[in-house]
Structure 1
């Protein structure tokens, strides 16, 4: 048991930070950076797409939903592979693997964000939009100032679930050898080849703590927001 714990403690810095001192972040740090970067792209992107689908219910909405269903119906691992080979061909340069995976995660997650936010908009009473119009609000103003704040509050649990899934999906970066937590754990296991259970139980525990911590923080933020809104 002590030997198994030493496998973790001896490699803890590498599992947490990678080679950050050499300008190559990895492990938990890179996992969090990719999840944060993808979330910062997916959230506003998905909200913007939901707004477009709400504002133009005809062909624009249909095309957006076809795009979203296509993306959501494809395994994320294929999206990562596509961008891994497609982006260098389009840009003429080799992009960092972490950036490619972050863009793939953002693209994939934005489709689900669009669905959730659009459902939140559709669930609001139609009378609110009509009342906003009667007060002289344009469609864009009503959406930004009145409808979206309510919709985002209502779908917050769904969005938290999406970003928890996003955090776990960063583990798929191992397929292109990006040194996030799962890849680093595999490298440590390949080097040690004695205590794989200890290494991967530790890895699973780290993912659990990260995801549960995100859920707790989101729950506290939502409670504070609701208390402030009801004052």
Structure 2
């Protein structure tokens, strides 16, 4: 096996990794934000909101991510074009970003919901006794504690998302894995490039998982 063509291809692979990390960062931010809203809706006393949020979570957790990416690749340009009144192309990155945000929000929702429910109900009652509104109670008392408890789980889900970003090959987006595959096809060293890509994914995922375990022990203490 010849791994020498990997060195000249590193700039192209780095561009692919930057796109992967960019997609990951925006998807985590958007997914956590939407997941928090969904979690509050699921815990709401309003049955309509709770049922709608529950349906959203159960639906997206019951279908493959690859299928969601493919759907949104075709649907998102039409929706954004209808909203903005323009026919400008959206691009594969935006479509994949929306797909990841909405798909991961279903998983982040359950993590956030569990974190909120882990907080003692007595703290909520105490906040109401002090004259705080529901919004103030959640924003100032419950959510800060909940996010501290669920930070390891959020990070662990983000590691899974990092691995799942490789599925964007289905719509031709040149992420790290697709860049490695493309360079392997060009140089005729496909196996070497795929092995190198797998090694990089393993190093990043294993390293991040180790840090999450240490963080979890610290937060537990």
Structure 1 length as normaliser, TM-score? 0.85
What is the alpha-carbon distance in structure 1 between the residues aligned to residue 191 and residue 182 of structure 2? 14
Gaps of 5+ in 1: 18-26
Aligned to 1:39: 28
Candidates 49, 72, 76, aligned match of 2:61? 72
Candidates 190, 205, 215, aligned match of 2:199? 205
Answer with 85-94 or 200-209: which moved more: 85-94
Query: CA separation of 1:198/1:33 partners in 2, compared to 1, >3 Å: closer, same or farther?
Result: same
**Shift, 1:83, TM fit:** 0.9
Aligned to 1:151: 146
The 3-state SS of whatever aligns with 2:7 is helix
**Shift, 1:219, TM fit:** 5.5
**Shift, 1:223, TM fit:** 6.8
Aligned to 2:8: 10
**Shift, 1:5, TM fit:** 2.4
What is the alpha-carbon distance in structure 2 between the residues aligned to residue 127 and residue 218 of structure 1? 30
Answer with 136-145 or 48-57: which moved more: 48-57
Contact 1:51 1:143 in 2 (8 A): no
Aligned to 1:196: 190
Root-mean-square deviation (Å): 2.0
What is the alpha-carbon distance in structure 1 between the residues aligned to residue 36 and residue 174 of structure 2? 30
Structure 2 length as normaliser, TM-score? 0.89
The 3-state SS of whatever aligns with 2:193 is helix
